[in-house]
Every structure is written in C-alpha cells, then in structure tokens.
C-alpha cells in the first residue's frame, strides 16, 4: 500500500557556507519521528530539491533512511525529461525510497497525451511505487482527471498528490482512481480529507501541531480539529509565500532548535524584512515549543 497519513516534506539543511548539514538533517528527521508522523519525504519543492546535486541527493536519502528506520520514505523526482526523471527515480529506489513522487516534465511543456506517456514510462522503469505530483501552479502542466483515470490502470502508479487549487475539488474528482494525498502546505487539510484524501504532505516545521489535527479529525472531534487548524493558518500561509517559503520553513526550524542554520540556495532567497516581521509576530502568538534534540 502507498504511504498515507502525515508525511512532511523535509527541508534540506545547509551549513552557513552552503554545504548539506548532515547533523541538522538527522535532527530534523528525529524531530519528525517524535511528532508521530506516518512517513517523511525528501527532494520535494519544500526541500529545495531543485538545488541539489545527484551526489547530495544520495547522501540525504541515505541519512534520512537510516534515521527513519521502518518509516516510509518518499523521494521527489523533478527531472525535466523522461530520461532524467528515470535516472532520479532509479537512484531513489536504489537508495531505499519506498515511493517516488514524480512531477511531470515542465520546461518543454508536454501535451496531455505526453503526460500519460511520461508517467507510464517512468512507472515501468522506476523500480518502486510512483506517486503523481499534480502541481500545475509550479510546473504549468496540468494532470487532468482523464489522465489520472488512464494512469490509474498503469502498474506501479499507486497514488497522487493533489496541489491543483482548489485542491478539495480536484481531490473529489480523482479519489475513485488513486489513493489521494493533499499538498499546498495543508491549507485545506480538513476539506481535502472530507472529500477523499487519506494523507497530507506539508512542510516539516509544525508536524507536532498537525498530528493532533489529524487525530482529532479521525476521532470525530471536528471542532477541535478545525480550531487547531485555523490557529495554524497564518504560519501555513506564510509558508507558501512566493520566493520566501523556503526561508520561512528554515527560520522556524532554526528558532525551534531543530536545525543549525536557515541558509537557503539560490534561487531561494533569505527572509526579507516584511516577511521576517510577520513571521516573528506569528511565532510569538503560537509559542511553538523548542526541540530538545537538536543537531549534534
């Protein structure tokens, strides 16, 4: 079965001089385990996967896999052609990923028929389960319902992460075809679950606060789930701010003592003053607990 439930997308910690910070990566993964997540994901959009070399991806997956133990690990694939996507997918499978989350190619925009062809070929050669990542706001490439219906019959394709707004509508439209997980930093988490999603893949800095939301929702405590989710919305919305999202995720992780630096890689940008002020006010209101583990 494909991984479901709370599967945060791990940020990629860097040292102040820009190298992958393995100690912080381990700390971040340990924090997720302490939150009771159902899996973790690497190389997603919140991971700055676009800025990682193949050698770095290998190291990151190895370290996360070692800390995660039996917990499912999903690896993002963002190749801009079938050949490069297959290369990334096979490397992820060889590195121990339980599933790959695959974006369609987006530099040369594929036709609807080519989208189906692409995912079919990747599923045939990936060596592990494939999750379709439907994120047209980033890629400019829609994966329409007809394509999802066609791909549901392809061996190896087991799930879809819906990030096509409004996500609850798309979730309802594709739930009969594949296992559906929500994205968009859990902005519409409860409505996605109401319409057939069985998982969510947000950023990783507030997993301890999302876990109770899902638990309350599963137990029928909707008022509690809605109240807790609403309280998080200012932070959630700041975490999808264009150009600043990566810096927001890392600044929260830094202030909570989970990673050692908020360094990002170009074209991500460090926090600018307007966003930093808003984030500080939000964090003061939320009073998020510090993580006692920390890099070591």
pLDDT tens digit string along 141-180? 999 999 999 999 999 999 999 999 999 999 999 999 999 9
pLDDT tens digit string along 97-120? 999 999 999 999 999 999 999 999
Model confidence, pTM: 0.96
Can you give the pLDDT at residue 296? Answer: 85
Pairing status of strand 5-6 against strand 199-200: parallel
Q: Is 90 exposed, middle or buried (0-12, 13-18, 19+ CB in 10 A)?
A: middle
> Taking residues 81-97, what's their average pLDDT?
98
75 and 42 Cβ atoms separated by less than 8 Å: yes
Instruction: With cut-offs at 50, 70 and 90, classify the pLDDT of residue 1.
Output: confident
* Mean pLDDT value across the chain: 97
Can you give the pLDDT at residue 286? Answer: 96
pLDDT tens digit string along 6-21? 999 999 999 999 999 9
Residue 28 has pLDDT above 90, yes or no: yes
């Amino acid at each position: 079965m494909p991984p479901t439930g709370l599967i945060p997308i791990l940020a990629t910690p860097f040292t102040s001089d820009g190298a992958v910070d393995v100690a912080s990566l381990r700390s971040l993964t340990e924090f997720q385990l302490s939150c009771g997540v159902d899996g973790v994901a690497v190389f997603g959009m919140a991971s700055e996967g676009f800025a990682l070399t193949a050698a770095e991806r290998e190291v990151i997956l190895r370290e996360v896999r070692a800390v995660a133990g039996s917990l499912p690990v999903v690896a993002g694939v963002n190749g801009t052609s079938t050949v490069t996507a297959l290369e990334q997918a096979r490397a992820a499978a060889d590195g121990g990923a339980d599933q790959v989350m695959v974006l369609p190619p987006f530099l040369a925009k594929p036709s609807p028929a080519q989208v189906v062809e692409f995912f079919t070929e990747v599923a045939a050669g990936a060596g592990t389960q494939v999750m379709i990542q439907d994120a047209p706001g980033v890629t400019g490439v829609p994966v329409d319902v007809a394509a999802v219906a066609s791909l549901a019959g392809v061996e190896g394709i087991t799930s879809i992460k819906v990030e096509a707004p409004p996500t609850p509508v798309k979730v309802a439209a594709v739930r009969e075809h594949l296992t559906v997980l929500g994205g968009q930093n859990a902005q519409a988490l409860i409505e996605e679950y109401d319409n057939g999603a069985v998982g969510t893949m947000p950023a990783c800095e507030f997993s301890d606060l999302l876990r109770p939301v899902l638990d309350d929702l599963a137990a029928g405590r909707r008022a509690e789930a809605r109240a807790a989710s609403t309280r998080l919305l200012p932070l959630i919305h700041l975490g999808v701010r264009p150009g600043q999202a990566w810096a927001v995720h890392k600044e929260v992780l830094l202030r909570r003592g989970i990673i050692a630096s908020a360094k990002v890689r170009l074209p991500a940008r460090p926090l600018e003053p307007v966003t930093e002020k808003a984030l500080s006010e939000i964090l003061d209101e939320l009073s998020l607990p510090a993580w006692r583990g920390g890099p070591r």
